[in-house]
Amino acid sequence: MRVDDHISEFGTMSVSTLARGCMCELNDYRRGDICDNPYSMELLRRATVLRDPPAWEVLQQCLSATVHRWVRRHTLRASACRFDSEENYVAQAFARFWQASVLHEQLEFHTLAAALRYLHASLNGVILDTLRTYLRPREMPLPEPGWAGEPFIEDDENSGDLWGIIQHLIPDAREQRVAYLLFHCGLKPREIVHYCPREFSKVREIYRMRRNILLRLMRNADNIRWQLARVR
């Protein structure tokens, strides 16, 4: 992603100033107004290129209402919400969006519209994956860490390497277990509580740990990409 001539002017602005500008630009975008969206692009640059955690948090806050609207208008919403909450679909869409920016360095967003299209596609993928998961019979018990035949979170050729790198970046054993279940097994927070009641009893705790894990991975995004490049 590049912001071209706007970097020098907007690069020194505070995140809160960018957030206010981003919200105004999103309102204009929804009305169909065409503009450069410099506040949104600078916030996006800091979040996805500079891997700045505060910028990522604010970006999610700015775009959260938009993603919630997409969920409510989704043609498969009724079926999807039988298996997971709207809030979790939104969180997973952002997580998938962030993961793509880590795995694919060449991914660039030159416009706000392009970034929103990719985020929308991420949400669609999350919903479809959830429905595929629940429409398949679950007859096998939850595998333990290290099971050779366990599926990865996605059919990406880098997924196994990514998990191997992630587990070394999370020193806390409990958070590492949650990361394993989320990113390696592909389980949802509610599924973790269902299948591992002796380990985890509250969905809210899983959400909190997932947020901490994602922030840690964001701070180490460049290191993750460098290690993935070494193993290819």
In this predicted structure, the answer to whether residue 220 has a pLDDT above a threshold of 80 is no
Question: What is the largest distance, in Å, between two alpha-carbon atoms of the chain?
Answer: 57
Residue 23 clears pLDDT 90, i.e. is over it: yes
Amino acid at site 6: H
d(CA 12, CA 126) in angstroms, rounded, equals: 35
H helix intervals, the chain: 7-10, 15-30, 38-48, 53-73, 77-80, 86-103, 112-135, 159-169, 173-179, 189-195, 203-219, 221-231
Q: Would you state the pLDDT for residue 3?
A: 43
pLDDT of residue 148: 35
The terminus-to-terminus CA distance of the chain in angstroms comes to 24
Q: Which residue has the higher pLDDT, 66 or 145?
A: 66
121, pLDDT greater than 50? yes
Give the model's confidence band at 48: pLDDT under 50 very low, under 70 low, under 90 confident, else very high. Answer: confident
Query: What is the value of pTM for the model shown?
Result: 0.62
